[in-house]
Structure 1
Amino acid sequence: MEKFNSKLYLENCYIMQENEKLRKTAEILNQENQALLIELQKKLAAAAAATSGSSIPDLNLSAASTATKSSKTSKK
């Protein structure tokens, strides 16, 4: 019975470590998501101001800078 309890204890420790890693990853992804949302809102506002007569905004105003930012944050 002790052997079984030890095995469960070690498995529980491993699961807690993995959970902590996933929590940190989720936190980073949430921060990136918030940053991208803010950037999108800025682009939509800029597009709406630039094209007051057009109903379809151009979301590709700075696609290259977005890709660069995403690749930099992914490498952390």
Structure 2
Amino acid sequence: MDRINSNLYLQNCYIMQENERLRKKAELLNQENQALLSELKQRLSQSNNTNSPRANSNSIPDLNLCSSSNNTNASKSSKKKK
């Protein structure tokens, strides 16, 4: 029984380390995504200001809403698995 507990403990430690690594990677990707989205919005804004009066036709959806709900859902699903 002690061997099984030790194995499960080690597996749990490994899973927690992997989870932390993936969380940090997701955070970095989200920051990169936000920077790119900001740059894209800025370029479109500049393009719309110089080229045409129809500024609203090239609107960009707010990806923060999608990513935050996905993060929340992912957190909930990972908690359910435990």
TM-score scaled to structure 2, two decimals? 0.63
Moved over 2 A (4+): 53-57
How far did 1:39 drift? Answer: 0.3
Q: CA RMSD in A?
A: 1.7
Task: Return the letter of the residue paired with 1:34.
Answer: Q
Task: Return the letter of the residue paired with 1:12.
Answer: N
How far did 1:50 drift? Answer: 1.4
1:46 corresponds in structure 2 to 46
Unaligned runs of 5+ in 1: 58-76
Task: Return the letter of the residue paired with 2:45.
Answer: A
Unaligned runs of 5+ in 2: 59-82
> Which structure has more RCO (C-alpha within 8 Å, separation ≥ 6)?
1
Is the deviation greater in 44-53 or in 1-10?
44-53
Count of equivalent residues: 57
How far did 1:52 drift? Answer: 1.5
SS of 2:52's partner is: coil
2:18 corresponds in structure 1 to 18
Task: Return the letter of the residue paired with 1:36.
Answer: L
Equivalent positions of 1:1-76 (< 5 A) are 1-52=1-52
